[in-house]
């Protein structure tokens, strides 16, 4: 057994490192990269020892390692109160793979086409509500449209009285994952006791009720032989290895997972896309002209330069050798999306927003990692990129846009995501 070794890192007390990670994550990562190189160790108060990795070779080692040795589900445990015990995000090993296999088919890239008309229509309705000629923050509007996409394309609720209840309940559930009140409770109780906490359960009860009603409605339509193409209806056809269908409890947990994993991330990525585009009018003009490859390049460049999730995490269940270091069991291993995406050897002039780079060279498996990788790669990666392309096309064609104020927006932390600090403020006029 080799002697455990950890990459170098700051010597500040844990509490100080934790504070820097909470309040100023981007400067902290960049400072550490300059001071210590492509692998460094941070000590974060209640979460142990984190090894950040900024080299694509090390990222490859993590994404191709035995998933039994690098657990991702454990690292997501804080989400248990909302997602429940069946969620693919929280499971590891065989249980994770079994659940992932059930969810994969409806999210296959080639199947996304079926949502294009719906996404375009929802984006057109949203854009029509924007004020003309006065500054406003785009981010809440992107939250509204990505929530609507989830309600309609994933839950399959397109009209009727339940639509409003479901939308309101999901909005409340998503908001509670980032509220300070819940964060404080989480800090004192931990995820398992928060999940069982009576006040928390009371707040979640209306959400569970309407989600279960929606599942029952889709099931009834499905049994009547109705042809539906929402993700929930497709999941009703999924079968476990023993041939049994998913239970209502599993469906509920996975639907909440898709909401929590897919709503803020997509909304914030869209807000960043527009924040960058309004400061690059030539890119905005080219986007409006509508060449499909260019729209895709804009999406890829946004996710490179402004990844909403700056790291992914795995907990080592046993000693593991990565990037030449013998990391002890218990270490959190963190491929650093933010730093990998800013490597000048991979992306010349890395801080510049230049979508063309993805027309010149395709995105690499271990150098373009906004959706993580390996057996944990984001299940919604095709869905999210398809959605971003559809919505950005509508925005660029229907509105002329300018920044409300010239200085670029900085990244501010909101729970695990990095959002534009002024909410992507713009001024818009009908095109
Ligand atoms: C731009 C938008 C999005 C970004 C940046 C994003 C990013 C990520 C990342 C970084 C992970 C962790 C990967 C890893 O640990 O290696 C993840 C996992 C996941 N995402 Fe996304 N995501 C987005 C949109 C979505 C959407 C729209 C959905 C579904 C509707 C979704 C569903 C999931 C699920 C289910 C997982 C867990 C996969 C597993 O553990 O096996 N995501 N996502």
What is the average pLDDT score of the chain? 95
**Half-sphere exposure (Cβ direction) of 117: Cα atoms closer than 13 Å:** 2
Closest C-alpha residue for ligand 1 atom 1: 266
3 state DSSP class of 336: strand
User: Strand, helix or coil at 378?
Assistant: coil
Supply the residue whose CA is at minimum distance from atom 31 of ligand 1.
380
Going by alpha carbons, the residue nearest to atom 37 of ligand 1 is 89
- List the structure tokens of 357: 């780079």
How confident is the model at residue 328, as a pLDDT? 96
Name residue, tokens 């509920």: 252
* Rounded CA separation 135/294 (Å): 27
Q: According to the model, what pLDDT value does residue 77 have?
A: 87
Distances (CA, A) of 137 to 142, 169, 178, 214, 275: 10, 23, 19, 32, 10
- Domains in the chain (CATH in brackets) are 14-430 (1.10.630.10)
Q: Whose CA is nearest to atom 11 of ligand 1?
A: 378
Q: Is residue 299 within 8 Å of residue 389, measured between CB atoms? A: yes
Per DSSP, the three-state class of 335 is: strand
Ligand 1 center to 73 CA (angstroms)? 13
Q: Give the confidence band of 75 by pLDDT, cuts at 50, 70, 90.
A: confident
At 98-134, the pLDDT tens digits run 999 999 999 998 889 999 999 999 999 999 999 999 9
Q: Which of 146, 380, 414, 416 gets mutated to test ligand 1 (max ligand atoms within 8 A of its CB)?
A: 380
User: pLDDT (tens digit, 9 = 90+) per residue, 136-169?
Assistant: 999 999 999 999 999 999 999 999 999 999 999 9
Q: Is 73 helix (H, G, I), strand (E, B) or coil?
A: coil
Q: Contact at 8 Å (CB) between 271 and 297?
A: no
Q: 23 near 414, Cβ under 8 Å? A: no
Under DSSP, is residue 198 helix (H, G, I), strand (E, B) or coil? helix
How far is residue 91 CA from its own chain's centroid? 17
307-320 b/e (C-beta count within 10 Å ≥ 16 → b): bbbbbbbbbbbeeb
Q: Whose CA is nearest to atom 27 of ligand 1?
A: 262
How many angstroms is it from 313 CA to the middle of ligand 1? 13
Q: Which atom of ligand 1 is nearest to the CA of 146?
A: 27
Q: pLDDT category, 234, cuts 50, 70, 90?
A: very high
Q: Which residues sit with their C-beta closer than 6 Å to ligand 1?
A: 72, 88-89, 100, 257-258, 261-262, 265-266, 269, 308-309, 312, 370-373, 376-380, 383-384
Tell the residue nearest (CA) to atom 19 of ligand 1. Answer: 378
> How many whole angstroms separate alpha carbon 82 and alpha carbon 169?
12
């Amino acid at each position: 057994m080799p002697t455990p070794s950890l990459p170098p890192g700051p010597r500040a007390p844990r509490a100080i490192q934790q504070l820097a990670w909470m309040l100023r994550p981007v400067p902290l990562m960049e400072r550490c990269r300059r001071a210590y190189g492509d692998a460094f160790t941070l000590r974060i108060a209640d979460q142990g020892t984190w090894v950040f990795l900024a080299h694509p070779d090390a990222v490859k080692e993590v994404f191709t390692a035995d998933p039994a040795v690098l657990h991702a589900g454990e690292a997501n445990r804080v989400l248990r109160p909302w997602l429940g015990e069946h969620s693919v995000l929280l499971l590891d090993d065989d249980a994770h793979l079994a659940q992932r296999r059930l969810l994969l088919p409806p999210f296959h890239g080639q199947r996304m086409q079926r949502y294009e008309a719906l996404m375009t229509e929802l984006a057109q309705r949203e854009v029509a509500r924007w004020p003309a000629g006065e500054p406003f923050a785009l981010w809440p509007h992107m939250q509204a449209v990505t929530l609507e996409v989830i309600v309609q394309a994933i839950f399959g609720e397109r009209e009727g009285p339940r639509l409003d209840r479901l939308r309101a309940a999901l909005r409340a559930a998503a908001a509670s994952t980032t509220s300070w009140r819940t964060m404080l409770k989480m800090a004192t109780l931990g995820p398992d006791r928060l999940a069982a906490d009576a006040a928390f359960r009371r707040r979640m009860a209306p959400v569970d009720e309407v989600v279960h009603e929606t599942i029952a409605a889709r099931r009834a339509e499905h049994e009547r032989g109705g042809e539906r193409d929402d993700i929930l209806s497709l999941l009703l056809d999924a079968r476990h290895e023993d041939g049994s269908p998913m239970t209502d409890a599993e469906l509920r947990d996975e639907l909440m997972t898709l909401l929590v994993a897919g709503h803020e991330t997509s909304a914030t990525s869209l807000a960043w896309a527009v924040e960058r585009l309004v400061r690059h009018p030539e890119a905005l003009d080219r986007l409006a002209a509508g060449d499909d490859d260019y729209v895709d390049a804009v999406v890829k460049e946004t996710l490179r330069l402004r990844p909403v999730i700056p790291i992914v995490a795995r907990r080592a269940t046993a000693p593991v050798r990565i990037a030449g270091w013998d990391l002890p069991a218990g270490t959190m291993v963190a491929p650093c999306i933010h730093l990998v995406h800013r490597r000048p050897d991979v992306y010349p002039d890395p801080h510049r927003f230049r979508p063309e780079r993805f027309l010149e060279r395709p995105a690499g498996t271990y150098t373009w990692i906004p959706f993580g990788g390996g057996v944990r790669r984001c299940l919604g990666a095709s869905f999210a990129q398809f959605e971003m392309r559809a919505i950005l096309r509508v925005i660029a064609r229907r509105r002329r846009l300018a920044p409300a104020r010239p200085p670029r927006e900085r990244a501010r932390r909101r729970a695990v995501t990095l959002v534009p600090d002024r909410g992507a403020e713009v001024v818009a006029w009908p095109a």
